[in-house]
Amino acid sequence: MTSRILTITLNPAIDVTYRTGALRLGGTTRVPDVRSRAGGKGVNVAAVVRELGGESLVLALTTTRAPDEFRDGLDGLGLAHRLVPALPAVRRTVAVVTPADGTTMLQENGFPAGPAGETGILDALGDELADGAGAVVISGSVPPGLSADVPAKLARLCARHDVPVIADVSGDALREAAGSGAVLMPNEDELAELAGPGTCQDLVAAGAPAVVATFGPGGAVAVTERGTWRARPAEVVTGNPAGAGDAGAAALAMHLTGSEVDWPVALADVVATSAAAVLRPVAGEIDVAARDRWIRAVEVERIR
């Protein structure tokens, strides 16, 4: 089996990062440092997979119009991609970073996908799975115009090809994906939406191969049929948390491409790689040296 990792982004974005000394609400803020790149959670995952030494392919919806800033942005990043034109435009997200307030995120919901969106992305995934994939990561929100069960449909297609898949989605899409055979990767807020302290164990009992719940500075918990582990970061990290979860998903995907997952090792990698993303100013990047150092220092304990 190839170790190539496919990432799926149904609601892509142009990510804009503003770094400034202070944000003046109700006034004018001048921005000396502006960065813009093709984004969306799956794009971030693909970029981190590449930094970790893996091969990735971005599968995503994009605009039906020209010029296509999103496609051009992926080309600029050097990320291999297969895009399905189905959106009237690609949304923008803005991260405003200041020393005092940290990161303030402004996120557009996204534009409605046309009827070609669902069939196009399913067909594209089927073709790529036939060409070989080690793992698939379905990330981010579902745009208007697509039903919440599209990530679950994508995950079931992966299961039919016997390819492990991670669903890093939220809300109704997460509830739909819970029975799809995907490894679920909710953050603390998304887990709370599913309800109850026993949720992770219940999801695994219902057929999820694993649930990896992330808690930001609190680390992560992996619940599987073989056991439950908790990992905590080696040290407190401050910086830009945007993209930290995507970096963790990239690390986990790399471990899923093997024949059997060593969950304590994989969970340590998830936590270390997520923390290493916080050190970088832009989502989709990690401090590789810090990640390599922290993997050995992350505390992992078995709790069940």
CA 218/CA 274 separation, integer angstroms: 11
pLDDT band at 102 (very low <50, low <70, confident <90, very high): confident
Judged against a pLDDT cut of 50, whether residue 264 lies above it is answered with: yes
103-129 pLDDT tens trace: 888 999 999 999 899 999 999 999 999
pLDDT (tens digit per residue) in 26-79:
999 999 999 899 999 999 999 999 999 999 999 999 999 999 999 999 999 999
Question: In percent, how much of the chain has pLDDT > 90?
Answer: 82
Instruction: For the domain made up of 5-302, give the CATH fold.
Output: UDP-N-acetylmuramoyl-L-alanine:D-glutamate ligase (3.40.1190)
Q: What is the CA radius of gyration of the chain?
A: 18
Tell me the per-residue pLDDT of 124-162, one tens digit each, with 9 for 90 and over. Answer: 999 999 999 999 999 999 999 999 999 999 999 999 999
What pLDDT, on the 0 to 100 scale, is given for residue 196? 56
Query: So where are the chain's domains?
Result: 5-302
Confidence of residue 282 (pLDDT cuts 50, 70, 90): confident
Length of the chain, in residues: 304
Confidence of residue 1 (pLDDT cuts 50, 70, 90): very low
Would the pLDDT of 84 be above 70?
yes
| Mean of all residue pLDDT scores within the chain | 94
